[in-house]
Structure 1
Amino acid sequence: MKPLVELDSVSIELGKERIVEQLSFSLNEGDIGCLLGPSGCGKTTLLRTIAGFSEVASGAIRLYGEEVASVKTQIPTEQRQIGMMFQDFALFPHLTVEENIAFGINTWSKTDQKQRVQQLLQRVDLAGYQHRYPHELSGGQQQRIALARALAPKPKLMLLDEPFSSLDAELRELLAQDVRNLLKEEGITALLVTHDQQEAFAMADKAGVMYAGQLLQWNTPYELYHQPEHELVADFIGRGVLLNGQIQSHQLHSALGVIDHEVLCDQDDHDVTFLVRPDDVLIVPTDQPHRLQAQVVGRGFRGSHYLYTLALDNHEHVLAVGPSHQPLSAGQMVGINVDFDHLVVFDSNICQLPD
């Protein structure tokens, strides 16, 4: 399948500062991609460059198989068939819901405009709201109208810049799934920028983690979580800790004891760090068989469960989950076992960016 979006070694400068460095990825037609990363990593600048608001310093951007941006090419934004949705929604306060949605299709016939507006209001579950004004809507409703307006011209590509950041956490997750379903129904390829991994997990077919202008990994959300290729990806995606260890005779020696795993079969003896997720650590009563003991040094209530911080004998910490109806107390000793379905080992305990 030919990519609908393709970035080839793209670098971006603002003033004399290099914001994005040699970044490459592609997104197939109908897929939803997501760029994750902390504030200031370059993800919004990259999105704006794909839209045509900024120019590339080197490399090329191709949309629908055609080059739209390079050192020699800069296709105007209005010719790129792109829809955009911003974090502040940017609805026109003096226009009704119907007029906001129809803003980008005002060259269509009145009949076609009305039909498209009614279709989108049905899809965003706001039928009957066409005569209201933005200030009469809740934040979630405004978000849906902003999405409907961006979808109205039937763009080939939708760019979403932190579209849920002003909403509360529960509403963000609900709307993220709703937006994914709507984009899939419309058959629109989309690229989302966010710092919230739950949004990425709810929406994305492919996701990437950016740091300091570089793309550290581009894969499915599942692979980012279970098979991170860089310490910074492991640290950013999901909850977990990096422990120190040594590989000796194809076994991993650490504060969790000696671990055998197939990924160690071709590893030479050396110092490593390895990723431990809460689902890798099982808390068991001390009167049952267990690998070693740990002390509860912290806990966070999560409704159905507690997330515990456990101190090992060498004072390194791991995370583990336990049911909320059987809470453990700070200072309590517990037994733990470990079970690594995915053992992720890094060659160094120093987080370095790739060359």
Structure 2
Amino acid sequence: MSASQPAFLDLEGVSRRFGDRVVLSDVTLAIPPGRITCLLGESGCGKSTLLRIISGVDRPDGGRIRMSGAEIVGPDRFVQPESRRIGFMFQDYALFPHLSVAENLAFGLRHLPKAAQRDRVAEVVARIGIAHLIDRYPHSLSGGEQQRVALARALAPQPAILLMDEPFSNLDQGLRERVRRETLATLRRIGTTAIIVTHDPQEALAVGDLIVLMRGGRIEQVGTPFEIYDRPASPYAAEFMGPCNRLTGIFSRGRIETPIGTFPADLDLPDGALALACIRPQALSIGPDGHGISARVMAKTFMGESEQIDIMVHPLAETLRMHSHVRIPMAVGEKVSLQLNGAEIHVFADDGLGANGRGTNPRETID
């Protein structure tokens, strides 16, 4: 968000606890207008709680929220959900099974005269492209059709902001990508300010104009997809956005020395301090033995469009993992030479978690 562009939604010091468990801790965030913001994080990090607090379904224990400059949540103020002009699209769509599509769309318009309801339903039906579904009932719709109807129902009252909680998670992979693409095209065409919750970093990279990575009830990093992937602020951010090989090294004169090479390190550390290199699998490549760092192929896994290869390098205790989009002729057990692409190497002060040849990925622990 540029300095000249005011935030549409301002969160300041928002906190929430359930009993002794702190779910949100001092969350401060600016949501830009007319853009899609993704709240990203593993299960239990507080992203869905934050969405409920924004909508008014839940109250924070502390902090303020301003919408277009007007306070809607504060120590002495709480605007009721129905007065916030905020739309909410649930993960399971929550369509009323006993109502037709037209009746579902009109449900949130009951404050309008009948003629105005019909006009507004017709407008949103045309905009979303679901005229052929208007007389059908939810049970007769496919997952993709239900998702489009749920989107239309959320947009029918003309909300100032749309909140979406894991909106594509119930769809099969192929359908998910198509519906996601159609939904994003609709939101961007009409200039909707939207906040989408997801636990999938690849989805966040594909969807968000702005990504808010959360961890343990706090904000870990905020940035555009390119910023958060190319310039992660912490080892956690680097590993959450994609697999990494972790290597501990020694910091000296603006560089980190590791068993497989020395890399630039823009760190405020004394010489001799431990530092950490997070190396993307795509940063590694191999060639015939004798043209780089001596290594050995330990395993190969064919993944369709790419191949995953585990490589052992002395004196590392565990293998390094690389991805290749070209076929690697070297067989398991064969000696090779390892080469590195420094553009995919992120360097941090050591976080004390130790180094393993193949870095852990926080996504592997998500339910």
Structure-2-length-normalised TM-score: 0.88
> Paired residue for 2:286?
283
> Paired residue for 2:136?
132
Rounded Cα–Cα distance in structure 2 between residues aligned with 1:57 and 1:147: 31
Assess if the C-alpha contact under 8 Å between 1:37 and 1:210 holds in 2. Answer: yes
> Paired residue for 1:346?
348
| Partner SS, residue 319 of structure 1 | strand
> Paired residue for 1:218?
222
Kindly indicate whether residue 187 of structure 2 is the aligned counterpart of residue 175 of structure 1: no
Which residue type is aligned with residue 141 of structure 2? L
Which residue type is aligned with residue 345 of structure 1? V
Q: Give RMSD over aligned pairs.
A: 2.2
Assess if the C-alpha contact under 8 Å between 1:84 and 1:159 holds in 2. Answer: yes
Q: Assess, with a 3 A threshold, how the Cα gap between structure 1 residues 339 and 92 changes in structure 2: closer, same or farther.
A: same
Which residue type is aligned with residue 317 of structure 1? T
Corresponding residue to 1:61 among 55, 61, 65? 65
Kindly indicate whether residue 32 of structure 2 is the aligned counterpart of residue 28 of structure 1: yes
Structure-1-length-normalised TM-score: 0.91
Rounded Cα–Cα distance in structure 1 between residues aligned with 2:131 and 2:123: 9
Shift of 1:53: 1.4
**1:131-190 deviations in whole A, cap 9, x for unaligned?**
111111111111111111101111111111111121122322332222221111121111
> Paired residue for 2:94?
90
Rounded Cα–Cα distance in structure 2 between residues aligned with 1:345 and 1:32: 30
Shift of 1:351: 5.6
> Paired residue for 1:243?
247
| Partner SS, residue 164 of structure 1 | coil
> Paired residue for 2:338?
336
Assess if the C-alpha contact under 8 Å between 2:267 and 2:348 holds in 1. Answer: no
Assess if the C-alpha contact under 8 Å between 1:306 and 1:327 holds in 2. Answer: no
> Paired residue for 2:50?
46
Assess if the C-alpha contact under 8 Å between 2:299 and 2:309 holds in 1. Answer: yes
- Higher deviation after alignment, 340-349 or 70-79: 340-349
Rounded Cα–Cα distance in structure 1 between residues aligned with 2:183 and 2:235: 31
Q: Assess, with a 3 A threshold, how the Cα gap between structure 1 residues 60 and 324 changes in structure 2: closer, same or farther.
A: same
Which residue type is aligned with residue 67 of structure 2? L
> Paired residue for 2:12?
8
Structure 1 stretches of 5 or more lacking a match?
Answer: none
Q: How does 1:146-295 map to 2 (within 5 A)?
A: 146-259=150-263, 261=264, 263-264=265-266, 268-269=270-271, 270-286=273-289, 289=291, 291-295=292-296
> Paired residue for 2:306?
305
Which residue type is aligned with residue 311 of structure 2? L
Structure 2 stretches of 5 or more lacking a match?
Answer: 355-367
Rounded Cα–Cα distance in structure 2 between residues aligned with 1:336 and 1:125: 52
> Paired residue for 2:323?
321
> Paired residue for 1:105?
109
- Higher deviation after alignment, 134-143 or 338-347: 338-347
**1:56-92 deviations in whole A, cap 9, x for unaligned?**
2121111111111122211100111100011111001
Rounded Cα–Cα distance in structure 1 between residues aligned with 2:329 and 2:39: 37
| Partner SS, residue 23 of structure 1 | strand
**1:87-115 deviations in whole A, cap 9, x for unaligned?**
11100111111211222123334444334
Assess if the C-alpha contact under 8 Å between 1:176 and 1:199 holds in 2. Answer: no
Rounded Cα–Cα distance in structure 2 between residues aligned with 1:327 and 1:116: 61
Shift of 1:324: 5.6
